[in-house]
Chain A
Amino acid sequence: MGVWDFIYNLFPRLYELTSAALGGLPTWASYLILGLIGIVLILFFVILVVMLFVWFERRLVGRFQIRLGPNRAGPAGLFQPIADVIKLLLKESFTPSKADRWVYFLAPVVAVVPAFLIFAVVPIQGGAGGILVDLNIGILYIVAISTISVVGVFMAGWGSSNKYSLVGAMRTVAQMVSYEVPLVLSIIGVVLIAGSLSMVTIVKEQAVPFILLQPLGFLIFFLGSLAEINRSPFDLLEAESEIVAGFHTEYPGIWFAIFFLAEYGHALAVSAIVTTLFLGGWMGPGLPPYLWFFIKVLLVFSVMLWLRSTLPRFRVDQLMGFAWKYLFPLALVNIFITGFEAILWPDFPWPIILVNILVMGVLIVLWSRFFPLEEGFRLERYGIGIAKGMALTFKHLFRRPITVQYPEQRLTPSRRFRGNELVLDLGRCTGCGACVRACPLNIIHLETRRGPEKGLIVERFDVEAGRCMYCGLCVESCPVGCLFMGRSYERATYRLEELTVGMDRLTAPDRKPSAYAHPEMEKEMPEQTLLAPPKGVH
């Protein structure tokens, strides 16, 4: 009983402590209180991890896309999800006028509740306290519960009476119902080996992680669950470029936040289920079990993000074809093979691993080669093209981001930069009006009077900066070189009258001229920042 033991067995020890503290109460009361504590813990766990996931996703996808991702709010941008949530909470909440109000407002709730319910049977550590309830139908319960969220999506699509929402909802039904079939069938392989539906037993049976014993099952399950939670490349029902935002197009502020929570809650749930079913759950050497569990979950989620930042999405009929003509028969064959093996070698000796991986390869090649997903389209390259693309995005993970952290880090524009300001050297101006004639927009207003000696005195030199397009023709036309383009690109104002820039501001010392049409000045200008080639090239 040391500190390490406490940390190692955190959840069982906490459970023991709480039950000991509740020892004086009647059984039903302590049962109730323990249950409530568990529920509250799960709520917090899901919401916290979802926030972490949102941050993680944006950072990681950013790196895949040679960007930095959010990095301003808090250390490394960790508070960005909190800022997002606050923003969403403060937004105006509106209802489309033709919406079916009851259905409209209930939809996010129906969508989010199953995401939480799933976690009741996800074990994060062995022993009591590592799981809320060890249902003996665990995995069946998960499959059943997750179907309920379809209804929520449906209600959203119907209730908001928007055509994009409706199309999104229709796609959802088709997609979710179709992918449920291979998904459930692929679970059967695992259940056959483990001999139980209970999540805890399934984990305990995994001396060898089932991903090795069931490689094909894993692939089908993973792809199927990607489709179930609408992740790329199956993110059709909220395909931004096609149907705007799908079923939640019409949801503002907090209601959108709930859908968002549901979506990421499901992503978390799927990562957790994949971890439990195929990656050996909490088991692992050295580290405390719950940490192992969490690391594996994060790993699975990262793979989802990797896919998301690489792949284009399927079209709706190809998606259905993929489920019915590719995953479904493969899942059936997988059950056959697994059942066969379960009868022949009930304790699954290690050569089975090699056999199964081989079988997977052969089946994938067979199906890709001979079974078209739609007319004229086969996966002829067995996914090699996809793998190549993914290798490339992975390479970009280690390249230098091209992000410029703007206010702190400024790029120097070129020496001839035409900023959004004009600079006037009044001393040299002769009031000839060449700039006025050159301006395509007629926005330079010049008034002169005859001076005491020869020449003109400029009385008024106004530029309507609000209309100016900074083409530089006035600067080029100036015969005495008294007009310059400024170097600033940050001029802005809130007041309309300030957009008419007079002589005093055109000649103000904070306006730095650039060398545009003034080649004699080019030498003294700072050098332009150029985008450097990324690491690993040359």
Chain B
Amino acid sequence: MELKTEPFVLNMGPQHPSTHGVFRMRLVLDGEVIVDVEPVFGYLHRGIEKLAEGCNYAQFIPYTDRLDYLASMTNNFAYVLTVEKLAGIKVPERAEYLRVIMAELMRIASHLMAVGFLLNDMGAFFTPLMYMFREREKILDLFDMVCGQRLTYNYMRIGGVSHDIPEEFLPALRRFLSEMPHFIDEYDQLLAENEILLARTKGIGILPRELAINSSASGPVLRASGVNWDIRKVDPYSVYDRFQFDIPLGTVGDTYDRYRVRIEEMRQSVRILKQAIEQLPDGEIRSKVPARLRPPAGEAYGHIEGPKGELGFYIVSDNSPNPYRLRIRPPALLNLTALRDLIVGWKIADAVVIFGSIDICLGEVDR
């Protein structure tokens, strides 16, 4: 029985348990049904793009950690990749492999959090989240081992990485890789067939293929809509062309597909990691780069497939030690473009779940 009532405005956020930070949605409700939404963000704006103009190229790396703080490694990666493209720096092979290992570990960690918080928003009271925290903890331990930090890694350097891996790293990583498929199976067992979860996600918040492309969505959100677009495949960077892996695709583009795509991507990341360990060459980890790098005047756009989508850096250089202009293509913000189309017509509870399935990180949205 649908009762029509007067629309009223519900201000969801910026302090709200499930807006993943300080995001705000101004919802216009008709009963429980959302008739309009106005996303408001910028509460976490720190002007990182402007700050870059005051740093030299090496100094900006720690700032990139603070974009998407759940995937700092890939932020580092995208930035140094762009600078290397701009300055034409060759990276030693071992460093490339280390970068790929770190990026794929980071992807697993980020997807664990994305799925965990999505389930939490659905009301699965922290249990899946705790299980996923446990696996993420192991990844963070590995990161701590190589770069001495658990959240803000500052690991990649222009022309390589800051440290070689310690000797206990590879055994620990191997153990993690042998356990991880088992745990992914467990996550599937926990909720993937759960009737309530299916009811809450199947057919909810469908992002059609056309809309996904038109709103320049990327990453799992785009692939869940059935678009085979993964920068690791379509524009291979680093050494990704040397690995065998599949791109999991959704069919419908609903919340369930976005959830499944992330789970499958974790499996694929494990696959890549196993190959990367096999192929890992010895050698240098960092090529010689001057401390105050002065790239030739010009511009470069480098992009990678981050956990949340296409993470790009666009840098303009005027041959000074500082970037003339730096612009970040934040996947989380651009994935939010379609938010209104996704949410309108659904209920508050769906809005939370759809929003969770986009997987944003406010550090990146607001920069």
Query: Does A362 lie at the interface of the complex (its beta carbon under 8 Å from any beta carbon of B)?
Result: no
A64 CA / B189 CA spacing, docked (Å): 15
CB-based contact A473/B196 at 8 Å: no
Instruction: Check: A37 CB closer than 8 A to any chain B CB.
Output: no
Known pairs A309-B125, A413-B144, A537-B182; A239 contacts B349 (CB<8 A): yes
B contact residues around A317 at 8 Å (CB): 32, 347
CB 8 Å contact bits of A134-155 with B (1 = contact, 0 = none): 0000000000000000000000
Docked complex: B1-27 residues within 8 A CB-CB of A: 8-11, 16-18
Contacts of A537 in B (CB 8 A): 179, 182
Q: Kindly state the separation between the CA atoms of A257 and B191 in the bound complex, as whole angstroms.
A: 33
Which chain B residues numbered 99 to 140 have a C-beta less than 8 Å away from chain A?
119-127, 130-131, 133-134, 137-138
Q: Smallest distance from the beta carbon of B235 to chain A beta carbons, Å?
A: 30
A531 to B162, CA, bound (A): 25
| A517 to B164 alpha-carbon distance, docked (Å) | 10
A-binding segment of B54-62, B308-316, B336-344:
B54-62
Please tell me if B152 contacts chain A, counting CB pairs below 8 Å: yes
The answer to whether A316 and B175 touch (CB under 8 A), given A163-B8, A537-B182, is no
- Quick check: is A392 within 8 A (CB to CB) of the other chain? yes
Q: Are B166 and A386 in contact (CB under 8 A)?
A: no
Report B26-72 residues with CB < 8 Å from chain A CB: 29, 31-32, 55, 58-63, 65-66
For B124, what are the chain A residues with a Cβ–Cβ distance below 8 Å?
A: 310-313
Q: What residue of chain B has the Cβ atom nearest to residue A402's Cβ?
A: B134
A522 touches B127 (CB 8 A): no
- CB–CB B10/A163 < 8 A: yes
Q: How far is the CA of A377 from the CA of B131 in the complex (A)?
A: 28
Task: Select from chain B the residue with minimum beta-carbon distance to A317.
Answer: B347
Q: Does residue A248 face the partner (Cβ distance < 8 Å to B)? A: no
Q: Decide yes or no whether B239 CB sits under 8 A from chain A.
A: no
Determine if A469 and B152 form an interchain contact, defined as CB atoms under 8 angstroms apart.
yes
Q: Which residues from chain A contact B175 at a C-beta distance below 8 Å? A: 533
A66 to B126, CA, bound (A): 11
Q: Which of A363-403 contact B (CB under 8 A)?
A: 373-374, 376-377, 379-381, 383-386, 388-389, 391-393, 396, 402
Q: Out of A65, A170, A241, A242, name the residue touching B127 (CB < 8 Å).
A: A65
Interface: A353 (CB within 8 A): no
- CB pair A418–B193 under 8 Å, yes or no, is no
Chain A residues contacting B18 (CB-CB under 8 Å) are: 240-242
A3 at the interface (CB under 8 A from B): no
A232 near B190 with CB under 8 A, answer no
Chain B residues whose CB sits within 8 angstroms of the CB of A374 once the complex forms: 199
Residue from B131, B178, B193 in contact with A381 in the complex, judged by beta carbons closer than 8 Å: B193
Q: Roughly how many angstroms separate A538 CA and B168 CA in the complex, as a whole number?
A: 20
B17 and A240 form a contact (CB under 8 A): yes
Find B193's partner among A243, A244, A385, A439 (CB 8 Å cutoff): A385
Partner of B162, one of A312, A388, A476: A476
Residues of chain B within 8 A (CB-CB) of A318 are 199-200
- From 152 to 177 in chain B, residues with beta carbon under 8 angstroms from any chain A beta carbon are 152, 154, 162-163, 166, 168, 172, 175
Residue numbers in B under 8 Å from A386 (CB-CB): 194-196
Residue B202 interfacial (CB < 8 Å) = yes
Contact in complex: B193, A310 (CB < 8 Å): no
Chain A's nearest CB lies how many Å from the CB of B98? Answer: 14
Residue A127, interface by CB 8 Å: no
* B365 in the interface (beta carbon within 8 A): no
Question: In the complex, are the beta carbons of B59 and A241 less than 8 A apart?
Answer: no
Contact with B along A483-522 (1 / 0, CB 8 A): 0010000000000000000000000000000101101001
Q: Which residue of A lies closest to B123 (CB)?
A: A313
- Nearest Cβ on chain B to A534's Cβ, whole angstroms: 8
List of A residues within 8 angstroms of B350 by Cβ: 315
Query: In the complex, are the beta carbons of B123 and A473 less than 8 A apart?
Result: no
* Residue A472 CB within 8 A of the other chain: yes
Contact residues in B for A402 (Cβ distance below 8 Å): 133-134, 137
Whether a CB of chain A sits under 8 angstroms from the CB of B296 is no
Interface size on B, residues (CB 8 A): 74
The answer to whether B186 has its CB under 8 Å from any CB of chain A is: yes
In chain A, what residue has the closest Cβ to B157?
A476
Decide if A414 touches B144 in the complex (CB within 8 Å): yes
Q: Does A415 contact B (CB under 8 A)?
A: yes
Report chain B residues within 8 Å CB of A439.
Answer: 59
Interchain CB contact (< 8 A) of B199 among A373, A417, A527: A373
Bound Cα distance A485, B152 (Å): 15
Does chain B have a CB within 8 A of A296? Answer: no
- Whether the pair B62, A241 counts as a contact (CB closer than 8 A) is no
Residues of A396-443 contacting chain B, CB below 8 A: 396, 402, 413-418, 437-440
In the complex, per-residue mask of A60-86: 1 if CB is within 8 Å of any chain B CB, else 0: 010011110000000000000000000
Chain B positions within 8 Å of A65 at CB level: 126-127, 130-131
A242-B18, A531-B137 as given contacts; A477 in contact with B199, CB under 8 Å: no
Choose among A171, A469, A531, A534 the residue that contacts B62 (Cβ–Cβ < 8 A).
A469
CA distance A198 to B146 in the complex (A): 69
Decide if B280 is an interface residue (CB 8 Å cutoff): no
Interface flag for A108 (CB, 8 Å): no
Nearest-neighbour CB distance to chain A for B177, whole angstroms, equals 12
**Cross-chain contact B196 with A233 (CB below 8 angstroms):** yes
Please indicate the chain A residues that have their CB under 8 angstroms from the CB of B163 in the complex: 416, 517, 519
Question: Does A308 touch B at the CB level, under 8 Å?
Answer: yes
Knowing A315-B200, A373-B199, say if A233 contacts B193 (CB, 8 Å): no
Whether B138 and A242, one on each chain, are in contact in the complex, defined by CB atoms closer than 8 angstroms, is no
The 8 A CB mask of A241-266 against B (1 = contact, 0 = none) is 11110000000000000000000000
Query: Chain B residue with minimal CB distance to A315?
Result: B349
A241, A377, A388, A519: which has the most chain B beta carbons within 10 Å? A241
Q: Once the chains bind, are B127 and A414 in contact (CB under 8 Å)?
A: no
Residues of B within 8 A of A528 (CB): 141, 144-145, 168
Known contacts A312-B197, A381-B193, A472-B154; decide if A531 and B8 are in contact (CB<8 Å).
no
Cβ of A80 to closest chain B Cβ, rounded Å: 18
Q: A167 interface residue, CB < 8 Å from B?
A: yes
Chain A residues, Cβ within 8 Å of B59: 438-440, 473
B347 and A377 form a contact (CB under 8 A): no
With contacts A402-B137, A416-B146, A440-B59 taken as known, whether A167 is within 8 angstroms of B198 at the C-beta atoms is no
Does B352 sit within 8 A of A, measured CB to CB? yes
Assuming A383-B195, A416-B146, A416-B147, is B348 touching A242 (CB within 8 A)?
A: yes
Measured CB to CB, the residues of B under 8 A from A are 8-11, 16-18, 29, 31-32, 55, 58-63, 65-66, 119-127, 130-131, 133-134, 137-138, 141, 144-149, 152, 154, 162-163, 166, 168, 172, 175, 178-179, 182, 186, 189-200, 202-203, 291-292, 347-350, 352
Report the 5 A-B pairs with minimum CB-CB distance, sorted nearest first.
Answer: A313-B123, A385-B193, A471-B62, A440-B59, A241-B18
A to B CB contacts below 8 Å, 7 in the list: A386-B194, A389-B190, A476-B162, A477-B291, A528-B168, A531-B134, A531-B141
A386-B196, A440-B63, A537-B179 known; 6 new pairs, CB 8 Å cut-off, are A311-B124, A389-B190, A414-B146, A416-B163, A418-B148, A533-B179
